[in-house]
Amino acid sequence: MKKISLISILLFFLFASVSYAGEPILTISTRNGEKSWTTSNLLKRSDVETVTIKSDPAYPNREMKYKAIPVAHLFEGIEIPDDVVIQFKALDGFSAPLSKARLLNTSDAQSKAYVAVEPLQKKWPSLKPGKPSAGPFYLVWKNPELSNIGTEEWPFMLAAFEVKESLEKVFPKIFPAPEIKKDDSIYKGLNVFVKNCFACHTLNKSGSATLGPDLNQPMNPTEYLTTANLKKLIRNPQNLRHWPNSRMTGFSESALNETDLNHLIDYLNHMAKRKP
């Protein structure tokens, strides 16, 4: 009987391990190690919620419901200094830093971040005909309007979070000249760039995004586009260059107001003179 019991136990763990083989894995990496979960691990957690997103950037004009876990819960037990950068990485090359304060917020007075988990047996809709879904993991927000969450802060096809050092230590080449004060339009433009552009574009070959061209090497767009045409490109790329397969979507006034757009252009103009 003992032999049979032992064999049964071994077979149980064998089949359990096989059942998890090949499942998508979400990872949080730090300098001290990493934590990871499979889809099944996440969906078995006691803190899984059903989150309803009425205006979903990945699925425009439709209401979506997701099984999701608060991001702050996934980071529990991980020591995160105040000045660090938390960077997401997606399977399609989308990658950018996120505000730690926004990402790990637990107050209902501000937007709250969740990792939505795509069920193995019931995939989410395709993003576009012939394209994959937003899975296996997707960063979504409850009440995004409370913290003015931008569309670039909703990475789908999510694979990992990585805790790095401060933004300036990790990406010094994207920063304005040292004499620029933090209340200057140029410095404000840096913040607009990090929030809205850094997920797709590098600058001075600094950053980990792979979707779009570098915005300062070899030329900055302010060097070959007028301000009016650069604004037109940012608002709707198809108005300037007809390219149906372009992956860049435009930024409406509600996503990027005119003041922030002007800050961004001031920053790009400044960085055109700061090439390594």
Q: What is the pLDDT of residue 20?
A: 46
Residues 229 and 185 in one domain: yes
Q: Domain tally for the chain?
A: 2
Would you say residue 189 lies in a domain? yes
**Boundary-marking domain end, from 167, 199, 218:** 167
Would you say residue 276 lies in a domain? no
Residues 159 and 185 in one domain: no
Q: Are 255 and 197 in contact (CB under 8 A)?
A: no
Residues 75 and 156 in one domain: yes
pTM of the model: 0.68
**What pLDDT tens digit does each residue of the chain (276 aa) get?**
334 444 433 433 333 333 345 899 999 998 888 999 999 999 999 999 999 999 899 999 899 999 999 999 999 988 887 777 898 999 988 888 887 888 999 999 989 999 999 999 999 999 988 889 999 999 999 999 888 888 888 999 999 999 987 788 888 999 999 999 999 999 999 989 988 888 788 999 988 777 789 999 999 999 999 999 999 999 988 888 888 767 677 888 888 899 999 999 999 999 999 998
Residues 192 and 101 in one domain: no
Q: Are 161 and 87 in contact (CB under 8 A)?
A: yes
- Residue 195: which CATH number? 1.10.760.10
Residues 147 and 215 in one domain: no
Would you say residue 4 lies in a domain? no
Cα–Cα dist 92/127, whole Å: 13
**Boundary-marking domain end, from 118, 141, 167:** 167
Query: CB within 8 A of 126, min separation 6: which ones?
Result: 132, 133
**Boundary-marking domain end, from 167, 197, 228:** 167
Residues 49 and 80 in one domain: yes
Cα–Cα dist 93/143, whole Å: 27
Q: What is the pLDDT of residue 13?
A: 38
Domain residue limits at 193: 171-271
Q: What is the CA radius of gyration of the chain?
A: 21
Q: What is the pLDDT of residue 112?
A: 96
Residues 149 and 181 in one domain: no
Residues 238 and 205 in one domain: yes
